Amino acid sequence: MNQGPARKNEHIYTLNMGPQHPSTHGVLRIILELDGEYIITAEPVLGYIHRMHEKMGENRPYPRFIANMSRLDYVGPMLYNHLFTAAVEKLSGIEVPPRAEHVRIITAELSRVASHLLWMGAFLMDLGAFTPILYTFDDREAILDLLESVCGARITFSYFRFGGVCNDISADFIEGTRAFIKLLRTRFPMYEKLVTKNIIFEKRVKDIGVITPEMARLYGVTGPALRASGISYDVRKNEPYSIYPEFEFEIPCGENGDCFDRYIVRMLEMEQSLRIIEQALDKIPDGPVMAKHAPLKLHPAPGETYFTVESARGEAGLLLISDGSDTPYRLKLRTPGFSNLSVLEELAKGILLSDLVAIMGSLDLVIPEIDR
């Protein structure tokens, strides 16, 4: 029987990873071209949950957009609260009281730790380890309890205001935060034994997905993914904002830029965040948590400003242009996840399909901030 001419490259095929796939942690699609189990190309496809946040920001008064910011990064929302309110304050010339600045730092760093804990549990579950997420979510719940006590929410926080924060922290919050810091420090040795020194985990992540310093600069990689490559860049140190210069903390860095180093950097960052929170609690002054003459309705003078913060995933930036009205003329976001995702296509060439899951997890992708 005549089978016809033999097909060329019949062992090469295309596979859709997503847009509904557990390891993408959101509606992200990766078009894979595979040679058996080895990846030839990996093309990320966005647009499935695009909500036009930037255009929404240009069609409503400044205060009404605060709630949108926590929807961008629902894993570390306080950090995005800080980004928007600080950018508007810079544009409007609003001074934030010292106590409010300390409260902002405390809640933002708690949000960073909560983000890293969620990332760690989900990352390991993607690799087949179920036990760690039970512990990381237990620790994260303690943070959400604290943040809920001051703002009434557990995920999409809208706590910051132009000129301060909406509620002061209580003595119970301070006591609870100190107790949590003590608790989490007792957990670190357990995480090290359970995960860091686990030989199966090491084999899955060491020397996988290496981002060289040159590659990181080329693609604009920031955050833990950049510092894991040995580049000590952190907005809190390199472009200081708020009262971060008043605190002593280190910038953990890796050497190899692989998945393991990205894990280690985030683990070390949690301890540095605890150091910052402790110092802020020790130094917090008395006084108001809102500027005395903060306007209820903003009409910033015509002009523009750009502001950046160090989010849990890297450098988050916001360009604001005012035409003198009560709504921004232009609002443009620079989210770290988008740049960090851009490097995936190069990292994926020639690797096993199972290693792609490890690489994507190590980048800590939050799709709403990418596909905004």
Q: Of all helices (H) and strands (E), which one includes residue 117?
A: helix 98-126
Q: What is the DSSP code string of 119-154?
A: HHHHHHHHTT--HHHHHHHHHHHHHHHHHHHHHS-S
Predicted local distance difference test score (pLDDT) of residue 20: 78
Separation between Cα atoms, residue 230 and residue 212, nearest integer Å: 9
Predicted local distance difference test score (pLDDT) of residue 193: 94
Predicted local distance difference test score (pLDDT) of residue 1: 40
Q: Is the dihedral of CA 251, 237, 156, 53 positive or negative?
A: negative
Spell out, as residue ranges, where the chain has pLDDT lower than 70.
1-10
> Which backbone phi and psi does 15 adopt, to 5 degrees?
-135, 135
Beta strands 29-35 and 12-17: pairing type? antiparallel
Separation between Cα atoms, residue 84 and residue 102, nearest integer Å: 17
> Which amino acid appears at position 195 of this protein?
V
Separation between Cα atoms, residue 303 and residue 325, nearest integer Å: 11
303 Cβ contact list (under 8 Å, min separation 6)? 91, 321, 322
Q: Where are the beta strands (DSSP E) in the chain?
A: 12-17, 29-35, 38-45, 160-161, 164-165, 303-311, 314-322, 330-334
Separation between Cα atoms, residue 38 and residue 4, nearest integer Å: 28
For 52-370, CATH gives 1.10.645.10
List the one residue out of 94, 160, 91 whose CA is nearest residue 300.
Answer: 91
pTM comes to: 0.93
Distances from the Cα of 281 to the Cα of 173, 242, 288, angstroms = 10, 15, 16
Predicted local distance difference test score (pLDDT) of residue 209: 93
Predicted local distance difference test score (pLDDT) of residue 5: 43
pLDDT in tens, 42-62: 999 988 888 889 999 999 999
Separation between Cα atoms, residue 162 and residue 84, nearest integer Å: 9
Q: Of all helices (H) and strands (E), which one includes residue 260?
A: helix 259-283
Predicted local distance difference test score (pLDDT) of residue 287: 93
Predicted local distance difference test score (pLDDT) of residue 8: 52
Q: Of all helices (H) and strands (E), which one includes residue 259?
A: helix 259-283
- Parse the chain into domains and list their residue ranges: 52-370
List the one residue out of 238, 113, 278, 82 whose CA is nearest residue 188.
Answer: 113
Query: Residue 31 burial (CB < 10 Å; 0-12/13-18/19+)?
Result: middle
pLDDT in tens, 160-196: 999 999 999 999 999 999 999 999 999 999 999 999 9
Separation between Cα atoms, residue 25 and residue 20, nearest integer Å: 9
